[in-house]
Structure 1
Amino acid sequence: MKLTIWGAAQQVTGSMHLLQTENYNILIDCGLDYEKGTYQEENEFFPFDPSTIDVVILTHAHIDHSGNLPTLVRLGFAGQILCTPPTADLTEILLFDSVNIFLSKQKKKPKRGRGNYGPKPLYLQRDVMETVDRFVTIGFNKPFKINGSIELTFIPAGHLLGAAAAVISINENGITKKIGFTGDVGRKNYPVLVDPEPLPPLDYLVSESTYGGRFHSKDKTLEDTLIETIKETCIKSPGRLIIPAFSIGRTQSLVFTLNQIFSKGLLPPVQIFVDSPLANFATDIYRKHHQLVNEEAKTFYQTKGDEFDFENLVYVQDRKESESVMNYLEPCIIISSAGMLEGGRIQDHLYHNIQNYYCTILFIGYCAKGTLGDRLLRGDPIIRLRNRDLMVYATIKKTDLLSGHGDHQDLVDTVKQQDLQKLKNVFLVHGETKSMDALAQSLTEEGYHVVKPIKGETIEL
């Protein structure tokens, strides 16, 4: 059995791992690599023939794990894509959204020319539809026979609705080996989502390392942070609180937390707008798979109703409604995507409010280096938006309390569930070099054998 790390090797995005037995090829995740910002060059071709892949296992819906599946299909992959039911639904809307993003990068040729110029889309709607047709859904903790010698089990990972760690049991020459892929490890006690479950005893573990060396804040709760920020921005002052949030996962957890705050009467009513078409679709999927949310959310639903709908909350439906939000003059909270400010309706709200002294922009997620969000967080006094230089007069704040990733200790604890004598290797992926080094050091001190594969490295298991 061989394992080749073809993506997220000593970087965060582009998860893609090839597991090969004597006569069967399994691809675990097939994400977009956008580390260098050249999505086409990095993702248009594969280092293997897609037609030779027998099956794909998808750990969760995020684009850095799922976003290149249509390219794989377009170039010859003809097998099944195995995932949980929520992952299938969320991945579908994310892939269609990716097509829209690709098309938006194209520009019309001058009047006398024909067609478009700019980067050619990696894939189109027809490729997404063909990809979605290949989804085969499997419930959590239900062993699934891929063939006579290979069995797959999905273990809840938190992080996102439907996210799973994949445990693959392979029998070769009468010997059974188990290899686990963490996908992305979630946090305990996260709004709406279940806690990550322990993995069974493994021979090998491929673990993410995103937050290696970093620890989440513990001196204040999410509820307290939001209450304090809303008070300062919308109650003591006639201002507006703008929260850039990823449409899938982050927005639903934020809305539920706000619902809890206002339903307890901890703040006077404040108008809230969710301005993201993708978030609206995702919220309906969360409702559809309500049996998979955590006990806190289920109890809230039974006693107080829909976690994602309450008085003074409005889901903005179209561009016209979005423009009316910009003209809303009372204090309010606006939740919009994209989380790093690189596109979407959030840029409209930013354009109209970045020079507003009474506005606060609260970041609740990671902003990659070089993004507009990153420039605001590092304190740039002027930003460029819509060909205009705008002074930054709004207050910029950040909290990591809604980060969907487990921190350093969570990652260490995930590995420490494994028997030192049985687990032969821990392979670290999905993290920057500094994060991997910090996690590797801690795991080595615990006695585990740690490997940090480079891209394209093949390991005999």
Structure 2
Amino acid sequence: MKLTIHGAARQVTGSMHLLEVAGYKILIDCGLDYEKDRGIQSNENFPFNPEDIDVVILTHAHIDHSGNLPTLVRLGFEGQILCTPPTADLAELLLMDSVSLFYQKMQKPRKHRRGGKHHHHAQPLYLQKHVMDTVDRFVTIGFNRPFRINENIELTLIPVGHLLGAAAAVLKINDNGEEKTIAFTGDIGRKNYPVLVDPQALPPVDYLVSESTYGGRHHTTERTIEEVLVETIDKACIKEPGRLIIPAFSIGRTQALVYSLNKIFSKGLLPRVKVFVDSPLAARSTETFRKYHNLLNEDAQSFYNFQGDEFEFDNLTYIENLKDSRQISNYFEPCIIISSAGMLEGGRIQDHLFYNIQNYYCTILFIGYCAKGTLGYRLLRGDPVVHIKDRDLAVYATIKQTDLFSAHGDHNDLMNTVKQLDKEKLREVFLVHGDPESMEAFEEALMEEGYATTIPEKGQTYVL
């Protein structure tokens, strides 16, 4: 049995791992790598022949895990893609959205460094046709239901929170008469997160491939989501008649936020303030959350039984078309605007920022991570002037941030995932999906506990 780490090695994006058993090739995740120096187009340069892959296992729908599947299919992959039902539905939405983003980038000219001429971006990585071809290959499996891939390999998907449908992939393998087990965590969630279930403990395994996004870092524990939202809304929209803008990713983060607001208003903790969710993708993905209501956590299901729809309330409006989106700027009462994208790189959120960044009565609350170089990162850094839609604008709005909506488990959650396993059976832990500092902090903590731990280089192969 051989394991090769082809993606998310000493970086966060582009998860892609190849497991080979007696000539049978299993690809675990096939995400877009946003950190490639040559741009998004270089994602089509696979380090193997896509035609040789027998099956793909998709841990969850986020683009850094699913986003390169249509390229794999376009270049010859003809096997099944195994995942949970919600992951299949959400991945279809996200992959279609990726096609739209590719076309938007194509339409936007960029200046060549020499001569000032305009050049358009390269062709899209894949088209809608390739997404539909990919969707046709999805085969869905319920949680905790063993699925036999072939006579030597059995797969079980274990719920890990993080996103609706997200799973760790546990493989039980007959390797030349010897039974071996290996688990791939995907992304691990955190306990008591809005809407989502807590991560389930993994069964004993011989090898673990674990994400390490928050290695060495701890989430805020002194305050609750409810307390932070109540304080922020009270100051931004009630004590001062202003508006609160919350950049949020459309799938996962927006639903957690809407549900949290619903609970606050239902309890009467604040007067009802108008809430706009300005993201067509968020509206469509919320329907998926409703479809798989039985997979939401006990708190959300209890709320539904006593209060009704978790994602709908009187003062909430989902905005679909662009005309209605632009009309929000003419709404002069206090309001909350939830819009994507979370890092402010494109999407309708840029329109709301353009019209409100110089508004003293506007607060912008970041509830997610902003990568270096993004507009969100510059605002959080405290830049007094930012560039939005071809204009330099002074920042007069109040900028705030909370990590309470992060759907990633922190250092303690990662450690608990490993420590719940049978230490005598676990031979080695491979760390992926994190920046080098996080990986090294997680590795050091694991080694102090006596776990054999490795941080693979990209393309490194291990015989297990």
Alignment TM-score > 0.5, same fold: yes
Deviation at 1:45, TM superposition (A): 1.2
Equivalent residues in 2 for 1:366-445, closer than 5 Å: 366-445=369-448
Name the residue aligned to 1:34: 34
The answer to whether the 8 A contact 2:168-2:185 is kept is: yes
- Residue 95 of structure 1 is matched in structure 2 by 95
Equivalences for residues 29-68 of structure 1 within 5 A: 29-36=29-36, 38-68=38-68
Q: Within 5 Å, which residues of 2 pair with 1:347-362?
A: 347-362=350-365
User: 2: distance between equivalents of 1:382 and 1:41?
Assistant: 32
Contact (CA 8 Å) 1:365, 1:403: kept in 2 or not? yes
Indicate yes or no: 2:205 matched with 1:202. yes
CA contact (8 A) 2:41 2:125 kept: no
- Matched with 1:106 is 106
Determine the structure 2 residue equivalent to 1:267.
Answer: 270
User: Per-residue displacement from partner, 1:343-387 (whole Å, max 9, x unpaired)?
Assistant: 100000000000000000000000001100000000000001111
Corresponding residue of 1:113: none
CA distance in 2, matches of 1:303, 1:91: 31
Q: 1:134 aligns with which of 119, 137, 151?
A: 137
Deviations 1:175-223 (A, max 9, x none): 1100000000000000000000000000000000000010000111100
Provide the rounded CA distance (Å) in 2 between the counterparts of 1:281 and 1:119.
29
Q: Give the equivalent residue in structure 2 for 1:301.
A: 304
1:283 alignment partner in structure 2: 286
1:72 matched to 2:75: no
**TM-score scaled by length of structure 2:** 0.97
Return the alpha-carbon distance in structure 1 between the equivalents of residues 120 and 438 of structure 2: 39
Correspondence 1:146 to 2:131? no
Question: Is the contact between residue 109 and residue 121 of structure 2 (CA under 8 Å) also seen in structure 1?
Answer: no
The answer (yes or no) to whether the contact 1:32–1:39 under 8 Å persists in 2 is: no
Equivalent position SS for 2:26: strand
- Determine if the alignment matches structure 1 residue 338 to structure 2 residue 341: yes
Letter in 2 for 1:69: L
Distance in 1 (alpha carbons) for counterparts of 2:258 and 2:5:
37
What SS class does the counterpart of residue 208 from structure 2 fall into? strand
Mind listing any 5+ residue stretches in structure 1 that lack a counterpart?
Answer: 111-115
- Offset, 1:109: 8.2
- SS in structure 2 at match of 1:105: helix
CA contact (8 A) 2:248 2:254 kept: yes
Q: Which residue of 2 aligns with 1:453?
A: 456
Whole-Å separation in 2 of the counterparts to 1:377 and 1:109: 28
2:314 aligned residue: 311
Q: Which letter does structure 1 place at the counterpart of 2:98?
A: S
- In 1, the alpha carbon distance for the partners of 2:45 and 2:222 equals 46
Mapped pair 1:18 → 2:21: no
1:234-245 correspondence runs (5 A): 234-245=237-248
Could you tell me how far 1:37 is from its partner in structure 2? 6.7
Partner residue of 2:228? 225
Distance in 1 (alpha carbons) for counterparts of 2:455 and 2:247: 33
Paired amino acid for 1:210: T
Say what the alpha-carbon RMSD is for the aligned residues. Answer: 1.1
Cα distance in 2, alignment partners of residues 420 and 20 from structure 1: 25
Alpha-carbon distance between aligned partners in 1 of 2:325 and 2:219, rounded to the nearest angstrom? 34
2:85 is aligned to 85
Deviating runs (4+, > 3 A) in structure 1? 36-39
3-state SS of 1:106 partner: helix
Q: Distance in 1 between matches of 2:388 and 2:37?
A: 19
Mapped partners of 1:108, 1:363: distance in 2: 27
Aligned AA for 1:158?
G
Q: TM-score, normalised by structure 1?
A: 0.98
Q: Distance in 2 between matches of 1:68 and 1:430?
A: 16
